[in-house]
Structure formats: structure tokens, C-alpha cells
């Protein structure tokens, strides 16, 4: 089974050369405190509909000593995509006048805003090396649970694309069963609280190293054992499972 390596270097101020390339998707919930750092690392920044309102309203709040207009010009999304029913008209005008690509689309009930954004980025960057490209997403967690579940489902539907959901408290990404996994933990930025969650399908056999409560060919399922409130003990955590698992780790206060 091939190895897949994971590292949250986007949480660090400087990313080592040759490491991952990022895209950033902003959904319509309060921006995490470290959003400017993600923005700076990303090659492309896509707002899903009301996510543009968040950038417009909240980026200036993260730079309270700077002029709001200057901050807004600095943090201009590359693309705004969605059905445009949440974005405020003045926000839409502001960014389209600045040159942001506005991709209007009619409601597609089978896919969430996040799904559309991931599909868009994948389509816009067809030749990118998927093993070193990661899509970072803010605003996918919290709020309405059906939205959150739909966003977690997007990770499962695009299981060959690296997608990380981020909030102020934690991050989540998929560990597909097709690979064995090495997770490099940056303890200056993340941990120690972590968990492994068999979302949607039980796991008959999961084995880990590097955790306080390691699993040894353990069965995990909703209604039984789910690894939550676990603790990262080593700089490298390994996971091997017969099922797709969600890895989650806490993010330290910025």
C-alpha cells in the first residue's frame, strides 16, 4: 500500500521551498484568526457566495490598525463562485470592479457550494500534482449541522484531492483507505488533541502509532468505539485502516 504523507505547514509563517501548493476556499462563516496567513500561502483564493461577505467584513477586523479599504484591496479574491443569493450586492460590485472573476451559477441541488468550488479548482488546475497540492477551506464547520455534514461529505466525494477543513479550534482531512498514512505534527501550531473518525462506514481494522491511545487492529464505528479526545505523543503519527477515516487535530491559539 502506498504511503501518503501529511503536514500542516500552511499553519507555519514560512513554508519550506518545494513543499505543498495551496488553494483557499472561503465559505460563509466567521473567518478563523489565521486566515491572512492561509491567504498569503495560497495560489488561488475562491469565495463561495457569502464567503465574499466574510472577507469584505472581517479581514479589516483582523487588521484593526490599518485602513479598511487598504485591507480590502490587499485581500481580493481571485474568484467568487455560487448562486449569488447570499453575497451582498455592494460586496459583489466592489470585487468585480477590482477584477475578481465572478462565476454565477444556477442552483444545483445535488451539490453544495463547497463541492462546486472544489470541482472548479480541480478543473482550473488539471495538471497540478495532486500529491503536493492541497485545498484549504474555512467556514465549513460549525453553524448548521446539515451544512457541516454536506461539507464533510465533499471530502469523501473528492477522496483523491487533498482538502483540509479549518476552524479556529481544529482542522480535519480525509485519510483514504487506499493508502497508509504518515502525519507530521507541527506541535508549535497544532495538537495535542486529536481524533480518528470512521464517518459513514465502520472500520474493521485500524492501527496507529504516535498517539496516547494507539489503536491495534481495532474496530471503530458509530455506536461503538470512535477515537476522540486522543492525544498526539510523537512528531509523527501513522495510521493504517480498512476504511476511510477523518483525521482531526486541535489548532493552538494564534
Please report, as ranges, the residues that interact with its own copies according to CB under 8 A. Answer: 109-110, 112, 141-147, 149-150, 152-153, 156-157, 159, 167, 169-170, 172, 193-195, 197-202, 213, 221-230, 244, 246, 248, 250
Comparison of 35 and 112: residue with beta carbon closer to its own copies: 112
Residue 155, classified by CB atoms within 10 Å of its CB into exposed (0-12), middle (13-18) or buried (19+), is buried
Comparison of 25 and 141: residue with beta carbon closer to its own copies: 141
Taking the complex as a whole, how short is the minimal distance between the CB of residue 56 and its own copies, in angstroms? 22
Comparison of 84 and 226: residue with beta carbon closer to its own copies: 226
Per DSSP, the three-state class of 59 is helix
Taking the complex as a whole, how short is the minimal distance between the CB of residue 203 and its own copies, in angstroms? 11
| 21-26, strands of its sheet edge to edge | 101-104, 79-82, 42-48, 21-26, 133-138, 162-166, 170-175, 245-251, 190-197, 227-231
What are the cell numbers at 45? Answer: 483564493
Comparison of 222 and 254: residue with beta carbon closer to its own copies: 222
Contacts of residue 5, defined as CB under 8 A and 6 or more positions apart, other chains included, come to 181, 182, 184
Torsion of the alpha carbons at 96, 102, 107 and 112, rounded to the nearest 10:
-110
| Cis status, amide bond into 228, omega within 30 of 0 | no
Comparison of 7 and 151: residue with beta carbon closer to its own copies: 151
Q: Which of 22, 5, 1, 12 is nearest to 164 (CA)?
A: 22
Taking the complex as a whole, how short is the minimal distance between the CB of residue 253 and its own copies, in angstroms? 13
Taking the complex as a whole, how short is the minimal distance between the CB of residue 69 and its own copies, in angstroms? 31
Taking the complex as a whole, how short is the minimal distance between the CB of residue 157 and its own copies, in angstroms? 6
Taking the complex as a whole, how short is the minimal distance between the CB of residue 102 and its own copies, in angstroms? 22
DSSP 232: B
Contacts of residue 149, defined as CB under 8 A and 6 or more positions apart, other chains included, come to none
Comparison of 30 and 76: residue with beta carbon closer to its own copies: 30
Amino acid at each position: 500500500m502506498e504511503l501518503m504523507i501529511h503536514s500542516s505547514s500552511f499553519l507555519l509563517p514560512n513554508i519550506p521551498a518545494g513543499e505543498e501548493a495551496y488553494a483557499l476556499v472561503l465559505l460563509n462563516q466567521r473567518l478563523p484568526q489565521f486566515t491572512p496567513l492561509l491567504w498569503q500561502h495560497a495560489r488561488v483564493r475562491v469565495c463561495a457566495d457569502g464567503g465574499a461577505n466574510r472577507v469584505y467584513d472581517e479581514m479589516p477586523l483582523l487588521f484593526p490598525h490599518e485602513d479598511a479599504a487598504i485591507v480590502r484591496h490587499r485581500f481580493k479574491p481571485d474568484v467568487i463562485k455560487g448562486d449569488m443569493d447570499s453575497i451582498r450586492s455592494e460586496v459583489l460590485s466592489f470585487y468585480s470592479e477590482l477584477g475578481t472573476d465572478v462565476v454565477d451559477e444556477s442552483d444545483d441541488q445535488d451539490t453544495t457550494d463547497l463541492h462546486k468550488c472544489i470541482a472548479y479548482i480541480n478543473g482550473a488546475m488539471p495538471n497540478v500534482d495532486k500529491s503536493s497540492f492541497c485545498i484549504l477551506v474555512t467556514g465549513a464547520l460549525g453553524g448548521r449541522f446539515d451544512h457541516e455534514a454536506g461539507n464533510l461529505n465533499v471530502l469523501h466525494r473528492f477522496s483523491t484531492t487533498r482538502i483540509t477543513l479549518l476552524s479556529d479550534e481544529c482542522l480535519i482531512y480525509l485519510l483514504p483507505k487506499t493508502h497508509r498514512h504518515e502525519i507530521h505534527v507541527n506541535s508549535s501550531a497544532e495538537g495535542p488533541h486529536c481524533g480518528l473518525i470512521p464517518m459513514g462506514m465502520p472500520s474493521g481494522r485500524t492501527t496507529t502509532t504516535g498517539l496516547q491511545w494507539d489503536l491495534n487492529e481495532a474496530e471503530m464505528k458509530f455506536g461503538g468505539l470512535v477515537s476522540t479526545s486522543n492525544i498526539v505523543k510523537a512528531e509523527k503519527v501513522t495510521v493504517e485502516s480498512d476504511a476511510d477515516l477523518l483525521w482531526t487535530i486541535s489548532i493552538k491559539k494564534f
